[in-house]
C-alpha cells in the first residue's frame, strides 16, 4: 500500500509499505480520506514525535470502510463505513484503529466531508466539554474560529447550550463564515482587541486557545470569574510570563491537553461520551462539516502548504482514490 | 462590643463597636474563638481588601454560641454551639454569618480546638476536592504541610482515600509532625528538593500550593500526567515565567482560588458537601485539630507576629474570654 513518511530532510515520501494487520481489539480500515492536522506539520518538523507504539506514518484520522476486524472486536463488521481517530498511520491506503476510537459515518456525507469530524470532535469534546466543562448557559470564546477545530468547536458549543459563542479569526470573510456556523460575535483579531470585546460582554467562561504566547495573559484578562482556559497548542510560543494575581482573584484554571498520547481506554471513554452527546448531531446533519479543500495523496505537499499558509477555513483532507 | 480594625498606619486597634444584627438568613454568634489566617495579615498590609458588603473588622472564622437568628433561618437555634466561615468580622465579641456558612461543633472540643477547622476545611474542600478533584487512589502533595491549612489538608487527603500523601515543611520537627498526621513522606524543603522526591515517587496527581513564585515551575515538574496544581496564595510572588510545554505534554491544570469573595450560595453548596463528606470525621474525633497557640484578643498583635514568623505549626487563635 501507499503510505506517507517523513524523510530525514523533513520532506515527505510516498512509499510502498506492507499493509498493517488488525491486532487485538483493532479495526483495519481501507482509507478513503485522511484529515490533515496542524500536528502533522509539527511532527514533520520534529516537534511532535509519534507516541510509543504508534505508526511513524503521518495522519491522525481517516474515513473509509472496514476491511478486516481483529480478535476481540465486537461492534463493527467488514464493509461498514466508519471514521476513526488514530495515533498515526492515516496518510495511507490502509490504517488500523483501536475499536474504541472508531465511529459510524452517515451515508449522506462524502468521505471528505466526514473527515471533517473525527479529530475535531474528539479534541473539542476532550478539551472544551470533558476537561474545561463548558456548561449550558455559559459564554464560550474560540480562538481560530474557522480552523478545522474551530468550525466544529463553535457549532458544538452552540448545539450543547452555550449562552453565547464568540470566535476570533483573521479576516472579515472568516468572521462571516463563523457567524454562519452560529457564532454570536466574530472578532477580527487584526482590527479588534478580543480582550476589549470580551470585557464589554462580561467575559468568557471557557476559552479554547491554540495561540499561546501573549494570548496566555490576554486570555486571563478575557475571562470572567471561575473561567477555564484550555490550550491545545501554543503556536506563538510555550514560554511566557504569567501574572497569577488575576488567576487567583478570578479563580481561573489554565489547562492544556493533547489527545494523541492518551491511553486507548481514555480515548474509548471519550468516544463513548461524544457518541452519546455529539454524534447524533452529525448523523442527522445538524453539525455541519466545513471542508476547505481536498488533495490527492500524491499532492500531499500542497495540502501541507495550504495548512501552513493559514489561509484555509475548515478542514483540509487527502483523498486516496484520486491518485 | 470589642472589635479589631486596621488603622491607616497598618496598626491594629481594638475598638468599641455596635453589635451587629442578624439579617435575613444570618446567624449572630457570640464569639469564643476567632481564627488567625495569613489572609488577615495580607488584608492588614492592604493587599486583600474585604469584598463588597463584608465587615471591615478582621477575621474569617469563629467558634461560639448562637446569640440570635435572623429572619428566614431554619437550622440553628439560640444557644447552639457552632463554628462559621465569615467574609470578615471575626475578631470581635459578636459576629454575623450566613446560615449556609455555619456548622455544628462537637462538645468534645474546646473553642480553640474547634477553631482549627472552619477556614481550613472549607479551603481544602473547595480547592483540593471540589476544584482539583483529588480522587481516591491518587497521590497528593501539600506544600506548607504544617500550616493551619496544611495540617487539615493532609489529614483530609488521607481520610478521603489518597493513595499517598506527601508534604513539605521547613524543619525536621515540622516534618515529624506531618508524619503523625498521616503523611507518608515529609520533605524538609531546606535540605531536600521536592521535585526530585516526587519524581522518584512517580509524580503528584494534585498539589496544593501557597508558595507560588519559583514553585510554579517546580510544581509543573513534580506532577504526573493529568495532574492538577491548585494555589490558594502566591507568597513568593504572583509573576513568573511559565514554560507551558510540559503543561501541554502532561495535560496539566494550573488553578487558583480564594474563598472569601465567592457568593454565599456557593459557600452554602461547599458547606453542604463538606458537611456530608468531612464533618463526620470532625464530630467523631478522627480529624484532629492541631492548635499552635491561642492569644487573648488584647494580644492580637502577638498573634499576628506569631503567624508572620512562620514558626507556628497548626492553628493560631484569638480567645475572646481572656481579655
The chain B residue lying nearest A238, using CA atoms, is: B244
Residue A240 sits at the chain B interface (C-beta within 8 Å): yes
Residues A123 and A8: their CA atoms lie apart, in Å, by: 29
What nine digits make up the cell of A175? Answer: 468572521
Residue B52 sits at the chain A interface (C-beta within 8 Å): no
Residues B192 and B171: their CA atoms lie apart, in Å, by: 11
Residues A125 and A117: their CA atoms lie apart, in Å, by: 11
Asked if A258's CB is within 8 angstroms of B253's CB, the reply is no
Coil, helix or strand for B247? helix
Residue A214 sits at the chain B interface (C-beta within 8 Å): no
Residues B306 and B84: their CA atoms lie apart, in Å, by: 23
Residue B47 sits at the chain A interface (C-beta within 8 Å): no
Residue A238 sits at the chain B interface (C-beta within 8 Å): yes
The chain B residue lying nearest A232, using CA atoms, is: B248
Residues B117 and A288: their CA atoms lie apart, in Å, by: 53
pLDDT value of position A58: 97
Bridging pattern class, strands B94-98 and B26-36: antiparallel
Q: Which of A231, A251, A262 sits opposite B244 (nearest CB)?
A: A231
Coil, helix or strand for A201? coil
**Taking the mean position of all CA atoms in its chain, how far away is CA A205?**
21
Residues A250 and A258: their CA atoms lie apart, in Å, by: 26
> What pLDDT digit, counting tens, does each position of A124-146 carry?
999 999 999 999 999 999 999 99
| Contact (Cβ atoms closer than 8 angstroms) between residue A36 and residue A317 | yes
CATH of domain B121-256: 3.40.50.720
Residue A75 sits at the chain B interface (C-beta within 8 Å): no
> Which contiguous run of DSSP H or E holds residue A242?
strand A239-243
pLDDT value of position A47: 85
Helix segments in chain A, DSSP class H: 38-45, 111-114, 118-124, 148-159, 172-180, 194-200, 215-222, 245-249, 264-277, 279-283, 300-309
Angle at A45 between CA A43 and CA A51, to 5 degrees: 25
Q: Which of A48, A237, A257 to mutate to test the interface with B (most CBs of B within 10 A)?
A: A257
> Which has the closest alpha carbon to A253: B253, B261, B128?
B253
> Which contiguous run of DSSP H or E holds residue B309?
helix B300-309
Q: How many CA atoms lie within 13 A of A121 on its CB side?
A: 31
Q: Which of B47, B216, B257, B262 to mutate to test the interface with A (most CBs of A within 10 A)?
A: B257
Domain ranges, ordered by start, for chain A: 2-117+260-322, 121-256
Asked if B240's CB is within 8 angstroms of A234's CB, the reply is no
Residue A231 sits at the chain B interface (C-beta within 8 Å): yes
Residue in the block written with cell 524543603: B189
Residue in the block written with cell 498583635: B301
> Which has the closest alpha carbon to A238: B216, B244, B221?
B244
pLDDT value of position B48: 82
The chain A residue lying nearest B236, using CA atoms, is: A244
Q: How far is A135 from chain B (nearest CA, A)?
A: 15
Measured from the Cβ of residue A281, the count of other Cβ atoms closer than 10 Å reads 16
Q: Kindly tell me the burial class for residue A309, based on how many C-beta atoms sit within 10 Å of its own C-beta (0-12, 13-18, 19 or more).
A: exposed
pLDDT value of position A164: 98
Residues A229 and A134: their CA atoms lie apart, in Å, by: 11
The chain A residue lying nearest B231, using CA atoms, is: A248
Residues B69 and B121: their CA atoms lie apart, in Å, by: 24
Asked if A233's CB is within 8 angstroms of B248's CB, the reply is yes
pLDDT value of position A53: 87
Asked if A239's CB is within 8 angstroms of B251's CB, the reply is no
Residues B61 and B267: their CA atoms lie apart, in Å, by: 13
Q: How far is A9 from chain B (nearest CA, A)?
A: 25
Residue in the block written with cell 478545522: A148
Residues B16 and B304: their CA atoms lie apart, in Å, by: 21
Q: Which of B239, B251, B256 sits opposite A241 (nearest CB)?
A: B239
Low-confidence ranges of chain A (pLDDT < 50): none
Coil, helix or strand for B23? coil
Asked if B249's CB is within 8 angstroms of A258's CB, the reply is yes
Q: Which of B232, B244, B257 sits opposite A256 (nearest CB)?
A: B244
Please tell me what DSSP assigns to residue B280: H
Q: How far is A107 from chain B (nearest CA, A)?
A: 36
Which segments of A56-178 are extended strands (E)?
Answer: 61-69, 81-85, 94-98, 102-104, 139-142, 164-169
Low-confidence ranges of chain B (pLDDT < 70): 323
Q: Which of B212, B243, B244 sits opposite A244 (nearest CB)?
A: B212
Residues B309 and B323: their CA atoms lie apart, in Å, by: 24
Q: Kindly tell me the burial class for residue B168, based on how many C-beta atoms sit within 10 Å of its own C-beta (0-12, 13-18, 19 or more).
A: buried
Asked if A216's CB is within 8 angstroms of B238's CB, the reply is no
pLDDT value of position A51: 86
Cβ-Cβ contacts under 8 Å between A and B: the total is 94
> What pLDDT digit, counting tens, does each position of B156-210 carry?
999 999 999 999 999 999 999 999 999 999 999 999 999 999 999 999 999 999 9
* Phi and psi angles of residue A88, each rounded to the nearest 5 degrees, phi first: 160, 165
| Contact (Cβ atoms closer than 8 angstroms) between residue B67 and residue B30 | yes
Q: Rg of the Cα trace of chain B?
A: 19
Residue in the block written with cell 511532527: A43
Coil, helix or strand for B208? strand
CATH class (in words) of the domain with range A2-117+260-322: alpha beta
Q: Which of B234, B253, B261 sits opposite A244 (nearest CB)?
A: B234
Q: How far is A87 from chain B (nearest CA, A)?
A: 15
Coil, helix or strand for B218? helix
> Which has the closest alpha carbon to B194: B167, B161, B174?
B167
Q: How far is A278 from chain B (nearest CA, A)?
A: 23
Q: Which of A225, A255, A258 to mutate to test the interface with B (most CBs of B within 10 A)?
A: A255
Amino acid at each position: 500500500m501507499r503510505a506517507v513518511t517523513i524523510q530525514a530532510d523533513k520532506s515527505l515520501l510516498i512509499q510502498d509499505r506492507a499493509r498493517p494487520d488488525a491486532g487485538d481489539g483493532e479495526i483495519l480500515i481501507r482509507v478513503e480520506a485522511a484529515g490533515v492536522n496542524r500536528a502533522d506539520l509539527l511532527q514533520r518538523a520534529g516537534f511532535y514525535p509519534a507516541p510509543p507504539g504508534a505508526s511513524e506514518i503521518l495522519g491522525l484520522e481517516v474515513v473509509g470502510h472496514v476491511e478486516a476486524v481483529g480478535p476481540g472486536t465486537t461492534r463493527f463488521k467488514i464493509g461498514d463505513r466508519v471514521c476513526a481517530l488514530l495515533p498515526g498511520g492515516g496518510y495511507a491506503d490502509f490504517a488500523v484503529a483501536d475499536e474504541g476510537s472508531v465511529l459510524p459515518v452517515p451515508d449522506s456525507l462524502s468521505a471528505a466531508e466526514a473527515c471533517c469530524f473525527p479529530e475535531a470532535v474528539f479534541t473539542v469534546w476532550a478539551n472544551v466539554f470533558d476537561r474545561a466543562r463548558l456548561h449550558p448557559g455559559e459564554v464560550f470564546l474560540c480562538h481560530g474560529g474557522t480552523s478545522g477545530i474551530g468550525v466544529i468547536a463553535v457549532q458544538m458549543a452552540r448545539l450543547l447550550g452555550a449562552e453565547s459563542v464568540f470566535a476570533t479569526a483573521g479576516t472579515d470573510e472568516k468572521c462571516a463564515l463563523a457567524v454562519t456556523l452560529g457564532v454570536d460575535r466574530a472578532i477580527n483579531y487584526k482590527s479588534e482587541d478580543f480582550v476589549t470585546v470580551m470585557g464589554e460582554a462580561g467575559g468568557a467562561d471557557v476559552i479554547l486557545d491554540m495561540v499561546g504566547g501573549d494570548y496566555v495573559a490576554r486570555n486571563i484578562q478575557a475571562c470572567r470569574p471561575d473561567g477555564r482556559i484550555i490550550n491545545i497548542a501554543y503556536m506563538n510560543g510555550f514560554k511566557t510570563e504569567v501574572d497569577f494575581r488575576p488567576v487567583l482573584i478570578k479563580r481561573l484554571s489554565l489547562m492544556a491537553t493533547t489527545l494523541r498520547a492518551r491511553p486507548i481506554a481514555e480515548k474509548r471513554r471519550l468516544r463513548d461520551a461524544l457518541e452519546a452527546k455529539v454524534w447524533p448531531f452529525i448523523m442527522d446533519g445538524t453539525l455541519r462539516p466545513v471542508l476547505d479543500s481536498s488533495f490527492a495523496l500524491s499532492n500531499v505537499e500542497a495540502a501541507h502548504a495550504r495548512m501552513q499558509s493559514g489561509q484555509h477555513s475548515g478542514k483540509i483532507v487527502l483523498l486516496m482514490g484520486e491518485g
